[in-house]
Amino acid sequence: MSLLTSLTYVLPHRVLSSLARRLAYSTSSGTSRWLIDTVTKKFNVDLDEAANPDPRSYPSFNAFFTRALKPGARAADADPRALLMPADGHISQCGAIEDGRIFQAKGQSFTAAELLGDAAAAEPFRNGLFATVYLSPRDYHRVHMPWTGTLRETVHVPGRLFSVGTDAVANVPRLFARNERLVCHFDTDFGPMVSVMVGALLVSGVETVWSGEEIPAYGTAITRKDYRGKGITLERFAEMARFNYGSTVIVLLPPGVAKLSPELKAESPVRLGEALARLPQ
């Protein structure tokens, strides 16, 4: 375990994330310019793909970090049976949910019930499929729909804010089920589908296209929002949400509805719109 991962057990997660949030939203030209330049150089950010490629024109670091892409920079897989990759990044892990357990790393796993904060809601996914996608600071930070779905409910599960880097994933037990997260339940034509937006150290915000900012405010109790009957339907490949700093999105699918793309494996680089899984013909 690295020193940074060890320190995250004792660091004041929410204080650090609140400070990071203040810096990210600062409209001071000096602050935003320094943050944008630092991240662009350190992580080799490709601004040629951005709808606005001028780093000096963004009013804050957060505006830069959640930047839109040029039209056509990403495309949905042409196969209409393909469920789509929800974001740019790397596969952390993907595969079968085995009797309700989701693989995190060698020797580490957690349950779908822990992740969703609800045993009953996890039951349809007991032997289904999962894909965990890590978004690094260089990636496009908007999350899109793998498949057309109607929003049923969101669940804000408060928790810690551990790093979600490779070392932390390998060493922090039940990491994704411990970090603060927003669980988004959708109904689709093949059944339920879940996208989980997982927060991380210095990640102090998740926004959705239907409700705006969801995290923060920080809380100590699970908060549910019922969207049944509200008619919020998002099409396949449509933007769903965004991170106000890099983190992880986890997609859960019920058993028997699709097969994961065979080329996907841990640490595979992925791009929004590529095939995540395919429905049978």
Residue from 88, 92, 118, 195 carrying the catalytic annotation:
88
Residue from 13, 92, 141, 144 carrying the catalytic annotation:
144
- List residues bridging with 215 in a β-sheet: 206
Please give the torsion angle defined by the CA atoms of residues 117, 66, 165 and 90, in that order, rounded to the nearest 10 degrees: 90
Judge contact between 238 and 52, C-beta under 8 A. Answer: no
Tokens of 264: 């996907």
> Is-catalytic flag, 163?
no
Q: Which residues contact 118 (CB under 8 A, 6 or more apart)?
A: 155
Q: Which of 61, 57, 58 is nearest to 35 (CA)?
A: 61
> Is-catalytic flag, 88?
yes
> Is-catalytic flag, 144?
yes
Residues taking part in catalysis: 88, 144, 247
